């Protein structure tokens, strides 16, 4: 009987569990055996594995995080770590390894495939949504919902106290979470890494808003923006304008929680499609979703190409904030 392996790697994201479940159940349906590898590439090096039967993934569809646990492994970046991992993969008789994670995880998958001849298939899962070859990554929309819920609550207190709030959201070097949650949350401004920001202009807009009668404002700050942390930006705004401000860093809150409907559907579709691809002996690819359809892309393209953010949303927000 053929065997596939599945692991989750890098930052966890809501929807990884429905995806693991889909890989396991689709594989069993197709007559394959599934080995779950715990703690990503770290577990591969340490042979930390479990046989996954259909019941091993019962009751996880609604749970955030990943039951296989995850890690960022420095050891796997070295040749010795890779050798140990490959030895274990071969001993286990894994014919294709399915890697659920982000771009760092896919770099590892590519190394296994291209350097060590281990067939790999990637499934994009990160709250950052920063992966080319897919319109959405698993976990992004749940994270945006979480950020939005926080922004709505902050709006209540901002309005009550006539205050300026700066809300820092995650996204590493991409502004997807900031842009989507900012537009949906009615932010007065959104600072993203993809655009340079002039703080004098931000302050001028705040002043304009006050003149028009706005008594409170919310600025969404993406963690990878070009100026600095929300706390640094807040103190510079205070010096320039004198406005009383508060800073909220949402941090890892955005990574947790029950996956939303879309992240469950996406996880299930991509997980099942990855198993199909493995059965068809596809390798060194990522399974994504583009315009609602499953799309396979070479892992080499994912590393080279940068997904573009839709700046129309940013300019739309500028209009909404007037
Ligand atoms: O890639 C997901 C992410 O949550 C980023 O948004 C963030 O920059 C990073 O991971 C945080 O990583 P860690 O959990 O290792 O602090």
CA of 169 to the centre of ligand 1 (A): 11
User: What is the number of domains present in the chain?
Assistant: 2
**Domain co-membership, 21 together with 134:** yes
User: Would you say residue 300 lies in a domain?
Assistant: yes
**Domain co-membership, 292 together with 210:** no
Structural domain range at position 98: 3-139+259-304
Q: Model confidence over 179-209: pLDDT tens digits?
A: 999 999 999 999 999 999 999 999 999 999 9
Closest CA to 1 of 112, 95, 97: 95
Closest CA to 173 of 196, 193, 195: 193
User: Would you say residue 178 lies in a domain?
Assistant: yes
- Contacts with 67 (C-beta within 8 Å, 6 or more apart), sequence order: 17, 20, 57, 60
**Domain co-membership, 14 together with 129:** yes
Write out the two tokens for 19. 């995806």
DSSP 296: E
Catalytic residue among 128, 130, 145, 189: 128
DSSP 221: E
Closest CA to 185 of 317, 83, 54, 283: 317
**Domain co-membership, 188 together with 42:** no
**Domain co-membership, 153 together with 134:** no
The secondary element (H helix, E strand) that includes residue 103 is helix 103-116
**Domain co-membership, 40 together with 78:** yes
**Domain co-membership, 54 together with 106:** yes
Conformation bin of residue 116: beta by default, left when phi > 0, alpha when psi is -120 to 50:
alpha
**Domain co-membership, 57 together with 38:** yes
Active site residue 130: no
CATH of the domain at 145: 3.40.50.460
Instruction: Please indicate whether residue 175, judged by its CB atom, sits closer than 6 Å to ligand 1.
Output: no
**Domain co-membership, 14 together with 89:** yes
Cα radius of gyration (the chain): 22
Largest CA distance in the chain: 72
Instruction: Please indicate whether residue 147, judged by its CB atom, sits closer than 6 Å to ligand 1.
Output: no
**Domain co-membership, 7 together with 135:** yes
User: Would you say residue 280 lies in a domain?
Assistant: yes
User: Would you say residue 13 lies in a domain?
Assistant: yes
**Domain co-membership, 162 together with 268:** no
Instruction: Please indicate whether residue 169, judged by its CB atom, sits closer than 6 Å to ligand 1.
Output: no
User: Would you say residue 310 lies in a domain?
Assistant: no
**Domain co-membership, 171 together with 77:** no
CA of 178 to the centre of ligand 1 (A): 14
User: Would you say residue 309 lies in a domain?
Assistant: no
CATH of the domain at 80: 3.40.50.450
Residue 294 phi, psi (nearest 5): -65, 135
User: Would you say residue 299 lies in a domain?
Assistant: yes
pLDDT at 1: 73
pLDDT at 151: 98
User: Would you say residue 211 lies in a domain?
Assistant: yes
pLDDT one digit per residue (tens) for the chain, 322 residues: 799 999 999 999 999 999 999 999 999 999 999 999 999 999 999 999 999 999 999 999 999 999 999 999 999 999 999 999 999 999 999 999 999 999 999 999 999 999 999 999 999 999 999 999 999 999 999 999 999 999 999 999 999 999 999 999 999 999 999 999 999 999 999 999 999 999 999 999 999 999 999 999 999 999 999 999 999 999 999 999 999 899 999 999 999 999 999 999 999 999 999 999 999 999 999 999 999 999 999 999 998 999 999 999 999 999 999 8
- Distance, CA of 100 to CA of 151 (rounded, Å): 29
Q: Model confidence over 299-311: pLDDT tens digits?
A: 999 989 999 999 9
Residue nearest atom 15 in ligand 1 by C-alpha distance: 11
């Amino acid at each position: 009987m053929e065997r596939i392996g599945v692991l989750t790697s890098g930052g966890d994201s809501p929807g990884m569990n429905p995806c693991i479940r889909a890989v396991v159940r689709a594989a069993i349906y197709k007559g394959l055996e599934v080995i779950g590898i715990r703690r990503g590439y770290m577990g591969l090096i340490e042979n930390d594995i479990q046989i996954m039967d259909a019941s091993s993934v019962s009751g996880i569809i609604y749970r955030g995080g990943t039951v296989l646990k995850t890690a960022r492994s420095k050891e796997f970046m070295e040749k010795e770590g890779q050798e140990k991992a490959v030895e274990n993969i071969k001993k286990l008789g894994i014919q294709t390894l399915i890697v659920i994670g982000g771009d760092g995880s896919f770099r590892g998958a590519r190394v296994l495939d291209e350097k060590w001849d281990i067939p790999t298939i990637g499934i994009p899962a990160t709250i950052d949504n920063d992966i080319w070859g897919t319109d959405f990554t698993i976990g992004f929309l749940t994270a945006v919902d979480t950020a939005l819920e926080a922004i709505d609550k902050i709006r209540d207190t901002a309005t009550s106290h006539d205050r300026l709030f700066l809300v820092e959201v995650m996204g590493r070097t991409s502004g997807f979470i900031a842009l989507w949650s900012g537009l949906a949350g009615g932010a007065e401004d959104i600072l993203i890494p993809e655009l340079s920001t002039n703080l004098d202009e931000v302050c001028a807009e705040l002043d304009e808003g006050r003149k028009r009668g706005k008594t409170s404002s919310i600025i969404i700050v993406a963690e990878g923006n070009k100026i600095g942390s929300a706390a640094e930006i807040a103190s510079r705004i205070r010096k320039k304008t004198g406005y009383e401000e508060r800073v909220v860093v949402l941090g890892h809150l955005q990574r947790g929680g029950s996956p939303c409907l879309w992240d469950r559907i996406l996880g299930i579709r991509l997980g099942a499609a990855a198993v199909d691809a493995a059965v068809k002996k596809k390798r060194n690819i990522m399974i994504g979703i583009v315009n609602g359809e499953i799309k396979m892309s070479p892992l080499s393209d994912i590393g080279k190409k940068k997904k573009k953010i839709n700046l129309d949303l940013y300019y739309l927000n500028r209009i909404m904030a007037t």
